[in-house]
Amino acid sequence: MFNLKSAFALAIISALSLNASANVLVDEIVIDTSDLQASITADLTAAMNKMHQEVLQEATLLIATDDVASNQQVVKPNNL
């Protein structure tokens, strides 16, 4: 018959062997993220450049609109 000490010892041995197996699997997994980092950096740079161009274009349009508004004069006819 299986006693409590044997069950406890079996549980500990099983846990240790699973832990050892997990460590072996973790050591064998290598993920190379250099390509991923380069891709993310390129995408981020392109997005930032696009946003910068859009902001410059909006600012230019606002300046042009302000120039047109300031150059317009209200002409009132003289009723002589």
Give tens-digit pLDDT for 38-53.
Answer: 889 999 999 999 999 9
The share of the chain scoring above pLDDT 90, in percent, equals 16
Dihedral sign for Cα 51, 56, 60, 66, please.
positive
40-58: b or e for each residue (b if 16 or more CB lie within 10 Å)? eeeeeeeeeeeeeeeeeee
pLDDT at 1 over 50: no
* C-alpha to C-alpha distance for 43 and 37, rounded to whole angstroms: 10
15-25 pLDDT per residue, tens: 777 655 555 55
Average of pLDDT values for 53-76? 75
Average of pLDDT values for 56-66? 81
* C-alpha to C-alpha distance for 4 and 1, rounded to whole angstroms: 10
Q: What's the pLDDT at 69? A: 66
